[in-house]
Structure 1
């Protein structure tokens, strides 16, 4: 008995050394990867403990059929599979992939005029290779399109794929159901805000209008952009039609906190160490008003801002009133103090922004007897046009922003007094071009900016209207707002703002492997060249500042994080060529 017991024990404890270390799959690379990833036989050898002899034998029996099933998902229905389990070798001869030989797609052709459009939109066509993933995707895509165009209850009545060797016959029958109208609006999650205020903001989303998916998405975006909610979900409620083919709309919101306080500490090359505090009240005096205040204190600069605005209404417009005071005494610049009062109206949408209003400006530039005092009362108008695939993380599209201000102004410096009309225009365009497929993560970003100030030659414009170049979103390699003309001050020659401005930038971007950053995705590298100048006039623009360098990008959840190392390539009065600067910023300038 003892020899028999010993033999049984040795048989049950299958020796690990008898198993192959891995399954050698001989097949085209794409199919080999598929089998290596999903074949149970291959996965068993990658586990922490090797399979027993009985488990290995079971997997060997199932492996050929499982391999054929996996190959069929890729359209190979006549594949030959040979398995040498002892040697761990799997040989695949896939043959030719099957193709769609016939497509029978039926629906309510006589009753619905859009049927031919839907029929043409089906992604899988006769003659194309058949893959299970493509088949499933084509069905989902067309059904989603039909539902998005008003038929919220659309469904597939029948879908079949009949395989005959290397040909596949597809049969589908679509049941779109009736065109759905929007029913009553049902709000959930409201605590401080009132339903009638949200109904005003939702605008076109009203009971009785024809349902489209885009209307729900637009309504959801309106609520998200209001800044009143941390989360917004707008969706049809249920699948049972009410009277008049209506479906209710459920609007779920998670309200943002009533008040928010943010504290910050930082350091900047020119202004030194700085601290800031910002307070936001989203329902001031229990009214649909938003109050924001911000104070910033630095070694050489101070800032105070107060803003009161209404909540956005039906046209996504809000009234804004703002008060601002700023003092700047940074080294190597003309010191100034600036105050402004602004009243206006703003309209903000996904694709376009509009603003108009009036602003009263008062500034003091310089020190002592050379100080200049300026005032201006300006009418203002601005607009932005966006056609981007993403507002916060764009890869493709374009952006155009323009601003125009005009009105009376006056200035006084020593015994010289001047007054007259003043006008200022500025435009900025950005273009994002993908280079290759989206998966390559390769692209090009171009930027062009220009501006001009028109005023009598002796009129000293308020500081905020003058143009300066240099810094993160201008000409990297030079200090923020450091490029511009100079004038004689109490400290000698000091840079001042110019009356004309131009900047340009070209940046090539390339996604970087997530493995370089511990599995964290969204990183990319950049190579860029910037150029620009601010000057008293176009004729006196002189040599532009040129900067070039390398950058690191991270498409983070809060926006685009940019770290750039740039070198000044041309001599400027404020900075010699050859110096390097580090630039750090979050987000893009819109």
Structure 2
């Protein structure tokens, strides 16, 4: 008997526990709340409103939630300029015989508040009775976005204040601050009266640099990058440009440029430069493949403090299927006028389209680099042995003067969508000065990106070159022209367009190519392209024969740069060829 009772008790306990577990796992259905409001506000409320987690226990619970949702709605509507809304929350009418109750939140927003008047006052040096400051104060007032008649929104009010303060603090007045700001809203008239007072503080001018963090480098490496002089008026964009130049110099892992905002030192505020030096020596290695030159392996070495003078020594050994290169170069740091000097040696062997070359080159250049341009003037001597298949082997020597200039104005150096890059090169040699042939080589190239719609891009490229000489003989390949391949005419093999000499393709004296390409971005990172390339390289204008290639491609904004995979068709033969490249070639 006792055993039976115990069994019944255990069975009853198990039933109760199972029922409790089922009840715990079963979540209550969410409460059905319908929002009745203008469409624009309905989306805002649905996004931010807190729905009831479970059905109301009683009328008191429902009333508490109604008070909560009313307060949330008032706050949300106020951010959009509605300060006198009518809000009701109760059981939905016509719910009828439904088991679960449904509710309705009805909102009548009322009139939207607009700006009635704006008062902007200045204190400090900006309030001085001087023509320059008066003109600037009037300009700041004219640029204020929340003018009378505009809809008043809390976010716009905060953004406008921040923008006004930044505009003042970024130029001259490093310690500018908001003394008082007030937005008085009259619910009866749905109007807002705005007032803001900013104390500009004194006008700041640059003092001397205070540099910390230098160990192996002299202060000159920092001072040569300074875009201002002591006594110049303070400009925040100059500090940011100075900081970016130091960070991009490869000498430092980190760089921070600030001023000490001390009003007592405003006439010569110290510029504080805090640096963390990077390791000066680097060794790298890599493997790769390109549709132009095939498989690639390389080893490179850099010393950013060569001879203890902060010069950049770079050496490279690159082995490709069609080209093998060894080079070493020494570059000085830019001086205060943005000039630097560069000298290098290169030995290169190529085997492309049945033309074998062995080139030795020594060069020296003076380079001036600015934010948007590079100007390079140099001299180089080179000796080239060329062996076309089925034609005589020759050796060319030249001492050439070179001028190269590039200007760019683009929105993003990696993923370009708007802007252009233009370059021009002019060079030549004389038989009277260590050259086998008299020649003058000219070359022009322009690339242009146009944004289409929200994300798409239309790209144009054009290049033209001409070498003025009595013959191509005696001129190194660098001063002649071949075409075909990536960044030239797709559908044709790399450097397959030129002058036939024996069984080989060698450089000619005339070049003209162009590209039109449209990229449709399917997502932020993936896109599809259609393109057409045209042009040719020849020994004279009479021999110029237009080659055409066109096709489709895929684009990917990879972490290493833009990746392009193209399938191109050669128009005259219908041959299909696959090309791929990574990074924009300027």
Find the residue that maps to 1:282 and give its secondary structure. Answer: strand
**Displacement over 6 Å in runs of 4+:** 12-15, 54-57
| 1:38-91 alpha-carbon deviations (Å, 9 max, x no partner) | 22x14x75xxxx699698875543112111211211222233333347525433
Q: Does 1:381 align with 2:403?
A: yes
Q: Are the structure 2 counterparts of residues 441 and 79 from structure 1 closer, same or farther at C-alpha, using a change threshold of 3 Å?
A: farther
Aligned-partner Cα distance in 2 for 1:367–1:278? 31
Residues 363-382 of structure 1 aligned to structure 2 (within 5 Å): 363-367=384-388, 370-382=392-404
1:467 to 464, 468, 481: 481
Aligned counterpart, 2:546? 543
Aligned-partner Cα distance in 2 for 1:496–1:88? 83
Contact kept in structure 2, 1:272 and 1:299, CA below 8 Å: yes
Count of aligned positions: 545
Find the residue that maps to 1:335 and give its secondary structure. Answer: strand
| 1:419-439 alpha-carbon deviations (Å, 9 max, x no partner) | 442111112222222234xxx
Cα drift, residue 579 of structure 1: 0.3
Query: TM-score normalized by structure 2?
Result: 0.85
Cα drift, residue 176 of structure 1: 1.6
Q: Does 1:454 align with 2:468?
A: yes
Contact kept in structure 1, 2:513 and 2:534, CA below 8 Å: yes
Q: Does 1:185 align with 2:191?
A: no
Residues 308-387 of structure 1 aligned to structure 2 (within 5 Å): 308-330=330-352, 332-367=353-388, 370-387=392-409
Q: Does 1:17 align with 2:28?
A: yes
Q: Which runs of 5+ in 2 are unaligned?
A: 1-19, 92-100
Cα drift, residue 181 of structure 1: 0.9
Q: Which runs of 5+ in 1 are unaligned?
A: 1-8, 413-417, 514-520
Cα drift, residue 405 of structure 1: 0.8
Q: Does 1:62 align with 2:31?
A: no
Find the residue that maps to 2:263 and give its secondary structure. Answer: coil
1:231 to 226, 230, 254: 254
Aligned-partner Cα distance in 2 for 1:475–1:102? 62
Aligned counterpart, 1:98? 113
| 1:236-281 alpha-carbon deviations (Å, 9 max, x no partner) | 23x2224453332222233222111111112344644331111111
Aligned counterpart, 1:579? 576
Aligned-partner Cα distance in 2 for 1:256–1:392? 24
Aligned-partner Cα distance in 1 for 2:540–2:580? 29
Q: Does 1:147 align with 2:160?
A: no
Contact kept in structure 2, 1:26 and 1:91, CA below 8 Å: yes
Contact kept in structure 2, 1:189 and 1:252, CA below 8 Å: yes
Aligned-partner Cα distance in 1 for 2:441–2:374? 19
Contact kept in structure 1, 2:203 and 2:266, CA below 8 Å: no
Residues 377-416 of structure 1 aligned to structure 2 (within 5 Å): 377-409=399-431
1:71 to 74, 77, 83: 77
Q: Are the structure 2 counterparts of residues 270 and 351 from structure 1 closer, same or farther at C-alpha, using a change threshold of 3 Å?
A: closer
Contact kept in structure 1, 2:516 and 2:533, CA below 8 Å: yes
Cα drift, residue 540 of structure 1: 2.0
Contact kept in structure 2, 1:445 and 1:506, CA below 8 Å: yes
Find the residue that maps to 2:497 and give its secondary structure. Answer: coil
Contact kept in structure 1, 2:485 and 2:579, CA below 8 Å: no
Aligned-partner Cα distance in 2 for 1:89–1:582? 61
Aligned counterpart, 1:201? 225
Aligned counterpart, 1:495? 505
Aligned counterpart, 2:444? 427
Q: Are the structure 2 counterparts of residues 258 and 168 from structure 1 closer, same or farther at C-alpha, using a change threshold of 3 Å?
A: same
Cα drift, residue 292 of structure 1: 0.3
Cα drift, residue 467 of structure 1: 1.5
Q: Are the structure 2 counterparts of residues 102 and 327 from structure 1 closer, same or farther at C-alpha, using a change threshold of 3 Å?
A: same
Residues 156-305 of structure 1 aligned to structure 2 (within 5 Å): 156-165=178-187, 166-202=190-226, 204-237=227-260, 239-269=261-291, 271-305=293-327
Q: Are the structure 2 counterparts of residues 315 and 17 from structure 1 closer, same or farther at C-alpha, using a change threshold of 3 Å?
A: same
Query: TM-score normalized by structure 1?
Result: 0.84
Aligned counterpart, 2:129? 110
Find the residue that maps to 2:380 and give its secondary structure. Answer: strand
The structure whose Rg is larger is: 2
Find the residue that maps to 1:245 and give its secondary structure. Answer: helix
Aligned counterpart, 1:570? 571
Q: Does 1:484 align with 2:498?
A: yes
Contact kept in structure 2, 1:182 and 1:247, CA below 8 Å: yes
Aligned-partner Cα distance in 1 for 2:542–2:43? 64
Cα drift, residue 307 of structure 1: 0.3
Cα drift, residue 218 of structure 1: 2.4
